[in-house]
A and B are shown apart, each in its own frame.
Chain A
Amino acid sequence: MRRYVIRRLIGIIPVMLGVIFVTMLTTELIPGDPVALMLGENARPEQEAALRKHLGLDQPLPVRYARYVLNVATGDLGRSIQTNRPVLDEIRDVWPNTLVLAVAAMALAIVVGVTVGVISAVRPYGIIDSLARVLALIGLSMPIFWLGLVMLYVFAYYFRLFPVGGTGSWKHYILPAIALATPSIGILSRMTRSSLLDVMGEDFIRTARAKGLRGASIITRHALRNAMIPVMSVVGLQFGQLLGGAVLTETIFSWPGLGRLTVRGVFARDFVLVQGAVLTFAMAFVLINLLIDLSYAYIDPRIHYD
């Protein structure tokens, strides 16, 4: 197990090197010159050259890449062009807000999604199942930024049940977490349903039935656990959706998180900040998926990593 974890952690390194390269390439392609943009129209050439040197932009791409990688390895993501604060500090300030929101949404999605999926699978093609499947499809077809705004209007403006935005009490979490979780609820319930139906066709379920177990006990004790592996792999992928979707929900609910920081950075052409933020998102996504891969061994004792 430990060897497997170490091997997987080492395997992350080339992926992250690639991620850094792609993010650097995109900033390389930025039309217009960040330096000219920062200094405005009346800058003298000497000023531009000095700032370019200061940002390291006078170096060729491979040198900048190597330098950036070395800096990242030592925890230095550079300084924000906009605020001149270290990017790592900027990210550290807001990152927990995004993580908490994403985890809250994920928890909601797993609880509701798996429950709906199980209810669907108990009587497949029945009325409840059909209804649940249509609702799941509508959920995953929902643009979350629109859902967020509709909920904002109904529950915050019209009924005044929840705050309009920002953080603070538990009430601040409800609307953003629901908006963020809705598509994932749809996907997870579909996955749970089909995976459970697969498992219900297997021999050991028939054996459990034959020895006289009742339906509910078969599902909770025998089938669900076996059906969870494909569901967990989808949970990992959904975390990517949630982290990305956080950009939208944070924008709508004025949530001070990494998503809003990224969008702010894009509009301010603060490429150092955007690079750092995107890198943090990718890193989180990759690590979460590693954790989920490792969790398989707990769900299914037959799986060994060596």
Chain B
Amino acid sequence: MHISTRESITTEPREIGLAAKPRSPAGDVARRFVRNRLALAGLFIVVMLTITAIAAPVIAPKDPAASTLGDTRARPSREYLLGADELGRDILSRIIYGSRVALLVAVLAVGAATLVGGGIGLIAGFAGGWIDEVLMRLMDILLAFPYLLLAIAIVSALGSGVEKTTIAVAIWAVPNFARVVRGQVLTLKERDYVLAARALGARTPRLLLVHITPNIIAPIIVFGSLYMANAILLEAALSFLGLGVQPPQASWGLMVASGRDFLRVDPHVTTFPGIAIMITVLGFNLLGDGLRDAMDPRLRNRF
């Protein structure tokens, strides 16, 4: 189930013009990124989101937990910019605080999956042989669970809450990171410079840390950014089902779910948190796409 092994390059006249003058690779990447308007939009969304999450207490107009019973499901107004929820809490403030949960779960889960999955992929790809076989068959088992179901099984076992949700999202992402890193290692370890280092007597740890790992950081950043998007969606989905983050904590998925019962009369309770999810996920997708195109134009629209 590989994506594509085709090596051919989509010819683009613009790239040829760029290649005429030799420049530093990092400068090239930055230049390509900055020229891509969608990528910049993605970066903007992600930066704004991060600022929102960090500065939530300063930005939020109201206390996200304070409920005013008279204002239950109030329509958007000057008092409540995006309305109030079923307990009379300010939806805008809860969305602002919800960004903390979304980012926290996604960053921790993707970070853990990068370390664990990346480590597994590094070992499997470099060692080869039966170690590779065993590790990748184990990853295949985790990949045999359709999206969401592995996470549901894990959360139903561990219980719900922010930490458990993070663990479930991380475990779901581990095999995917392992596969990506393994694929990179497989091609890198046969490169001349690695073979040369080995011939000069470099031992395995040095080969892995000094020669291979630095060269897989770029694809990991791209993949990590795209997986941030998926991790945020997965957390939201679990919380929506009632299996993830629990009330009274403000989680976007939970907020969408809480408006379900009043959808017919007060759709705003459900609508606004969902828009927050979509913009956030879109931001990370745009950023990941942009980084990928900037770092390696050959990979356009891959993984």
Q: Would you call A141 and B282 a contact (CB within 8 A)?
A: yes
Distance of A183 from chain B, by nearest CB (Å): 9
B-contact bits for A127-160, CB 8 A (1 contact / 0 none): 0000000100110111101110110110001000
Query: Which residues 218-267 of B have a CB within 8 angstroms of A?
Result: 229, 233, 236-237, 240-243, 253, 256-257, 259-260, 263-264, 267
Q: A262 — which chain B residues lie within 8 A by C-beta?
A: 149, 152
State whether the Cβ of A236 lies closer than 8 Å to any Cβ in chain B: yes
A18: nearest residue on chain B (CB-CB)? B141
Given A27-B157, A262-B152, A278-B153, A146 contacting B147 (CB threshold 8 A): no
Bound together, the chains give a CA A95 to CA B286 distance in angstroms of 37
Chain A residue contacts of B138, Cβ below 8 A: 18
A247→B149 contact, CB < 8 A: yes
Is the contact region of chain B dominated by helix, strand, or loop, or is it mixed?
helix
- A108 contacts the other chain (CB 8 A): no
Contact (Cβ within 8 A) B144 A195: no
User: Within 8 Å CB of B153, what residues of A?
Assistant: 22-23, 26, 274, 278
Question: Is the CB–CB distance between A140 and B285 below 8 Å?
Answer: yes
**B interface residues, how many (CB within 8 angstroms):** 60
Contact of B267 among A137, A138, A153 (CB under 8 A): A153
Q: Is B274 an interface residue (CB 8 A)?
A: yes
State whether the Cβ of B301 lies closer than 8 Å to any Cβ in chain A.
yes
Q: Is the CB of B1 within 8 A of A236?
A: yes
A209-239 CB contact bits vs B (8 Å, 1 = yes)?
0000000000000000000001001101101
Complex CA distance for A266 and B154, rounded to whole angstroms = 11
Is there contact, CB below 8 Å, between A143 and B237?
yes
Q: Contact between A263 and B241 (Cβ–Cβ < 8 Å)?
A: yes
Distance, CA A274 to CA B157, complexed state (A): 11
Find chain A residues with CB under 8 A from B152 CB. 247, 262-263, 266, 278
B8 adjacent to chain A (CB < 8 Å): yes
Q: Is the CB of B147 within 8 A of A245?
A: yes
Q: Is the interface of A mostly helix, strand, loop or mixed?
A: helix
Report B-chain residues with C-beta under 8 Å of the C-beta of A31: 158-159
Q: Chain B 254-291, CB within 8 Å of chain A: the 1/0 string? A: 00110110011001001101100110011001100100
CA distance A282 to B137 in the complex (A): 15
Q: Is residue B26 contacting chain A, with contact meaning CB distance below 8 A?
A: no
The reply on A194 being an interface residue by CB < 8 A is yes
Of the candidate stretches A46-54, A61-69, A196-204, the one touching chain B is: A196-204
**Nearest CB of chain A from residue B133's CB, rounded to whole Å:** 11
B21 CB–A CB distance under 8 Å = no
Measured between beta carbons, the chain A residues less than 8 angstroms from B302 are: 194
Instruction: Annotate B188-225 by CB proximity to A: 1 below 8 A, 0 otherwise.
Output: 00000000000000000000000000000000000000
- The answer for the CA separation of A26 and B151 in the assembled complex, in Å, is 10
Alpha-carbon separation in the docked complex, A16 to B143 (Å):
11
How far is it, in angstroms, between the C-alpha of A23 and the C-alpha of B150 when the chains are bound? 8
Contacts of B2 in A (CB 8 A): 233
In the assembled complex, the CB of B259 is this many whole angstroms from the nearest CB of chain A, namely: 8
Contact A201 B289 (CB under 8 A): no
Contact flags B128-151 to A (C-beta < 8 A → 1, else 0): 000000000110111011111110
Cα distance A30–B270 when bound, in Å?
A: 31
- Contact (A146, B270) CB under 8 Å given A198-B6, A262-B152: yes
**Cβ B8 vs Cβ A202 within 8 A:** yes
How would residues 258 to 283 of chain A score, 1 for a CB under 8 Å from any chain B CB and 0 otherwise?
Answer: 00001100110000001000100110
- State the A residues within 8 Å of B (CB): 14-16, 18-19, 21-23, 25-31, 134, 137-138, 140-143, 145-147, 149-150, 152-153, 157, 190-191, 193-195, 197-198, 201-202, 230, 233-234, 236-237, 239-245, 247-248, 251-252, 262-263, 266-267, 274, 278, 281-282, 284-286, 289, 293
| Given pairs A134-B38, A263-B152, A282-B145, 6 additional interface contacts (CB within 8 A) | A29-B158, A141-B281, A198-B4, A198-B6, A278-B145, A293-B1
The 9 closest A-B pairs by CB, nearest first: A146-B274, A18-B141, A244-B147, A244-B148, A194-B301, A26-B157, A243-B146, A141-B282, A240-B146
Residues of B within 8 A of A (CB): 1-4, 6, 8-11, 38, 137-138, 140-142, 144-150, 152-159, 229, 233, 236-237, 240-243, 253, 256-257, 259-260, 263-264, 267, 270-271, 273-274, 277-278, 281-282, 285-286, 289, 300-302
